[in-house]
Amino acid sequence: MTPNSDLKMLRAGLLICALFVATELSYGGPEMGARAGTYDVGADPWEATIRFKASERASVFAKGKLTKDGNDATGSLLIEVHDADGKLVASSHDTLGYAVVFWYPPRSGEYKIQVHNNSGQTKRIYLCIK
């Protein structure tokens, strides 16, 4: 083997190791798997109670969705996550058009997710929970 081919083999091995590590680190989310959908959210928040595994990264992403009827998708969005005792464990900033939150559940169990639309009008929201 030449020094150049040894370097190529080393690079290939490092790339494979990096892919395994990245795949392992990206695992997480609800016990029943990721979910996504589009929902109409008005004055009352969208809510769901979902079971998450302890110490595995979890995330919620909400984004205003443009619609044919002129829904401008720039409503103020806020995400809150509460544990089974009602304690707030994660929340996003109140932002225009989108909101995202990541957390590592301290224990396996049910977590209540709320997506608030503070725009004063019903908005079509794309929501992804992982």
At residue 65 the predicted structure's pLDDT band, cuts being 50, 70 and 90, is confident
Amino acid at 10: L
What per-residue confidence (pLDDT) applies to 27? 45
The pTM (predicted TM-score) of the whole model is 0.70
Residue 15 scores a pLDDT above 50 = no
Given a cut of 60, whether residue 63 has pLDDT beyond it is yes
- Of the candidate ranges 6-15, 50-59, 74-83, 93-102, the one whose mean pLDDT is the lowest: 6-15
CB of 69 closer than 8 Å to CB of 46: no
**For 42-59, b where at least 16 C-beta lie within 10 A, e where not — what string?**
eeeebeeebebbeeebbb
Neighbours of 125 (CB within 10 A): 23
SS3 79: strand
Instruction: Check pLDDT > 70 for residue 26.
Output: no
- CATH no., domain 35-129: 2.60.120.380
Average pLDDT over residues 7-33: 51
Q: What is the mean pLDDT of residues 25-50?
A: 77
Question: Three-state SS for 30?
Answer: strand
Give residue 68's pLDDT band: very low, low, confident or very high (50, 70, 90): low
Domain range annotation of the chain? 35-129
